[in-house]
């Protein structure tokens, strides 16, 4: 009788990846980042095991949107109170919080559960080219 293989979470031995978002299309970038966070690129992928890596995204302010999404794409935030629904275009979001554009795109590609919330804590997004995780020696991903 064969036994099923059950992968273990890597613990402190997670890999670190660095992605440069300059001139990259937002959706295509988010797919690569979500797959690294979820460990779908590993042969031992299991949806119930959190075995993903840390991902650092730099130059988030320079990410590209295709078509007329800069003016037409709508982001919403709700405070929970009556009248608390706020609408932002992608241009306004890029001006105020360019990191949130990438975070929301990646969040939309992850399952909505406790494992995904833990995965999002391993996503580090920076608006500029500098980041604070050089000591981890991240491996660069080219798209």
Q: What is the DSSP string of 17-29?
A: EEEE-TT-BHHHH
- CATH number of the domain bearing residue 21: 3.90.1180.10
From CA 79, how far away is CA 75, in angstroms rounded? 14
Alpha-carbon distances, residue 74 vs 68, 69, 91, 94 (angstroms): 11, 8, 10, 12
Does the residue 91 lie in any domain?
A: no
pTM over 0.85: yes
- Is there a domain that residue 2 lies in? no
Assigned domain for 7 exists? no
Residue 25 belongs to some domain of the structure? yes
Task: Please indicate, yes or no, if residue 40 is contained in any of the structural domains.
Answer: yes
In a domain, 5, yes or no: no
- Asked if the structure places residue 43 within a domain, the reply is yes
In a domain, 32, yes or no: yes
Give the pLDDT confidence of 57-97 residue by residue, as tens digits: 999 999 999 999 999 999 999 999 999 999 999 999 999 99
- How many domains would you assign to the chain? 1
C-alpha to C-alpha distance for 94 and 100, rounded to whole angstroms: 8
- Domain residues for 58? 16-64+97-141
- The predicted pLDDT at position 39 comes to 95
Positions in the chain whose pLDDT score sits under 50? none
């Amino acid at each position: 009788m064969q036994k099923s293989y059950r992968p273990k979470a890597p613990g402190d031995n997670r890999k670190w990846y660095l992605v440069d978002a300059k001139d990259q299309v937002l959706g295509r970038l988010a797919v690569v980042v979500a797959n690294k966070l979820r460990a779908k690129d590993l042969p031992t992928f299991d949806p119930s095991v959190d075995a993903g890596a840390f991902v650092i995204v730099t130059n988030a302010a320079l990410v590209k949107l295709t078509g007329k999404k800069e003016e037409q794409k709508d982001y919403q935030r709700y405070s929970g109170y009556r009248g608390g629904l706020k609408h932002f275009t992608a241009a306004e979001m890029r001006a105020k919080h360019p990191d949130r554009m990438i975070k929301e795109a990646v969040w939309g590609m992850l399952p909505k559960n406790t494992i995904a919330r833990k995965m999002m804590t391993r996503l580090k997004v920076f608006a500029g080219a500098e980041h604070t995780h050089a000591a981890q020696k991240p491996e660069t991903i080219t798209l």
